[in-house]
Amino acid sequence: MIDRLEKEVDMLERHLQVLKMVIESEPIGIVKMSNETGYPHHKVRYSLRVLEEENLIEPSSQGAITTERTEEFVDELDEKLDEIVEKLETMKIEEAAEIEN
């Protein structure tokens, strides 16, 4: 149950790392991103596809570049992540609720 959540968080982390690289180094290509992150080309390509589907980046002849939507997404990101962290905090089973033998 938790394994799927961990995998999703890892994938989100990769997508955001790729997005950050595009923001900082646009235009940037798959090979450079793969070399700098250590992610295989196919994983970088998948992240780029997801980001493109979300309209956060777009392809160019020199590599991936940001879109008009990128800045808005980045501005909202921290708040959304904070909301998710708060929700996860409420899901914890505290020591007081330990199962007694």
Q: Report yes or no on 58 lying in a domain.
A: yes
| Continuous H helices in 26-100 | 30-37, 41-53, 68-90
Task: Calculate helix-pair angle for 2-25, 68-90, nearest 10 degrees.
Answer: 150
Tell me which residue range forms the domain holding 33.
1-91
Q: Report yes or no on 98 lying in a domain.
A: no
Residue 30 DSSP SS3: helix
Q: What local confidence, expressed as pLDDT, does residue 61 receive? A: 94
Counted domains in the chain: 1
**Which CATH number covers residue 58?**
1.10.10.10
pLDDT digits (tens, 9 = 90+) for 27-84: 999 999 999 999 999 999 999 999 999 999 999 999 999 999 999 999 999 999 999 9
Neighbours of 64 (CB within 10 A): 26
- Is the per-residue pLDDT at 22 higher than 70? yes
Q: Report yes or no on 16 lying in a domain.
A: yes
pTM: 0.86
Q: Report yes or no on 21 lying in a domain.
A: yes
Query: Could you tell me which residue, 26 or 1, shows the higher pLDDT?
Result: 26
Q: Report yes or no on 66 lying in a domain.
A: yes
Residue 17 CB contacts under 8 Å (≥ 6 apart), including other chains = 37
Q: Report yes or no on 61 lying in a domain.
A: yes
